Amino acid sequence: MVPELPVRTSDEPMEPEHYRYIATHAWWMGTFLQPEPDAPCHVHFSEHLLQQWTPARQDSDWLLDRVLTGRVTWLAGSGADAEEAGFDLRDAWPTGRFRAPYGDFYAELNECEPRRPSGAWATPTPEFLALLPRDPVALLARLREDSPEGRSYSGPFRSAVDALRSCSVPADLRAPLFAALLELPAVTLVDEVKDLDGNLCLALVHDVGATRTELLVDPVDGQYAGERDTLRRASTCGLTEGTVIAETSVRTAVVPAIGALPVF
Q: What is the mean pLDDT of residues 166-189?
A: 95
Task: Check whether 82 has a pLDDT greater than 90.
Answer: no
In a domain, 263, yes or no: no
pLDDT at 34 over 70: no
200 sits in which H/E element: strand 200-208
Q: Is residue 194 part of a domain?
A: yes
* Residue 9 located in a structural domain: no
- What pLDDT band is residue 93 in, cutting at 50, 70 and 90? confident
Q: Please give the tally of structural domains in the chain.
A: 1
pTM score, two decimals? 0.92
Range of the domain at 29: 19-255
- For residue 14, name the pLDDT band (cuts at 50, 70, 90): very high
The secondary structure of residue 2, as a DSSP letter, is: P
211 located within any domain: yes
Question: What is the C-alpha to C-alpha distance for residues 225 and 200, in angstroms, rounded to an integer?
Answer: 10
Average pLDDT, the chain: 90
Cα–Cα distance, 93 to 30 (Å, whole number): 9
Kindly report, residue by residue over 152-167, the tens digit of the pLDDT.
Answer: 567 999 999 999 999 9
What does DSSP say about strands 19-33 and 41-55: parallel, antiparallel, or unpaired? antiparallel
